Chains A and B, each alone.
Chain A
């Protein structure tokens, strides 16, 4: 059973508009969430994170919102740029004794159209 879900396999957005990528999780023990971006033939690169004690974290054009009661988080990119076109993975972890092992969603392919 998938603990982290990204129900939209793909999303197309016009350049300059807002991109909203959604992620849902089922494990209430998750307390740390991240978004990774992946270009073809490259490994995932870290984008932004949020801990469960917050409901919003912002970094430049990227903002992550966390709704713990709904077990839902979203990534907002504004304004979207063609270079943002990539696969975006949502990841979650539950702190254990040492280190954290991430559970990834299946990814959403974002296409930003010029």
Chain B
């Protein structure tokens, strides 16, 4: 079974440009999460989708970040316009419905390393 995949693996852009990150969760996982790790610090929650709906977006830093999950499958995270402080590694994770499966484990993708110059 394929794991969580993310594209691209690396992205280098200039300040003010736009970047779109993509995440493909494990098939059948309703829950999809975006996290960010900046400067080697802790991994911080950004937002959580249940199917196509945003369940919790309390971690989104500002309105330059837009996440979508049309159709409840893959998700995109767009940063527009990018700023220097947006540099970091963006992780996507997915999980089954914990209430029916009993599992709470989140499976992480390899991350997208974003560098804003």
Contacts and interface: CB of A to CB of B under 8 A. Distances in A.
A107 B42 contact: yes
Nearest to B49: A99
Given A100-B98, A104-B43, A106-B42, A45 B104 contact: no
A99 B104 CA distance: 8
A43 B91 contact: yes
A62 interface: no
B50 to A, nearest CB: 6
A101 B43 contact: no
Interface residues of B, number: 29
Contacts of B45: 101-104
Interface residues of A, number: 26
Interface in B70-107: 91, 93, 95, 97-99, 104-107
Interface of B: 4, 6, 31, 33, 35, 41-45, 48, 50, 55-56, 59, 91, 93, 95, 97-99, 104-111
